[in-house]
Amino acid sequence: MSEIPQRQLGKDGPCLSAIGFGSMGLSGFYGMPASDDERFKVLDRVIELGCTLIDTSDVYGDNEDLIGKYFKKYPDKRQKVNSILITHKTISIFIGFFGY
């Protein structure tokens, strides 16, 4: 399988993967989450395919903690995701939902 194509963000911005990884599924939204080691395998594959854009949120259960543990355990992987980790805070979801 080929790697995910890369795109430059703006004229002078970083090069990002054209497809990002939405990590909500790593936590408890679709049933009980797997063990950290099993979820680390998913992150390994995402990075192996060339994804440098990971979307996460504190609303996604232990998602941000899991990704932090992953990069702490595998610091060399953090160098491969050299572009952007996107995170959103709970308040932004409620603001959008209630129209404030």
Catalytic residues: 60
| Contact assessment for residue 23 and residue 56, using Cβ atoms and an 8 Å cutoff | yes
9: left (phi over 0), alpha (psi -120 to 50) or beta: beta
CA–CA separation, 51 vs 27, rounded Å? 19
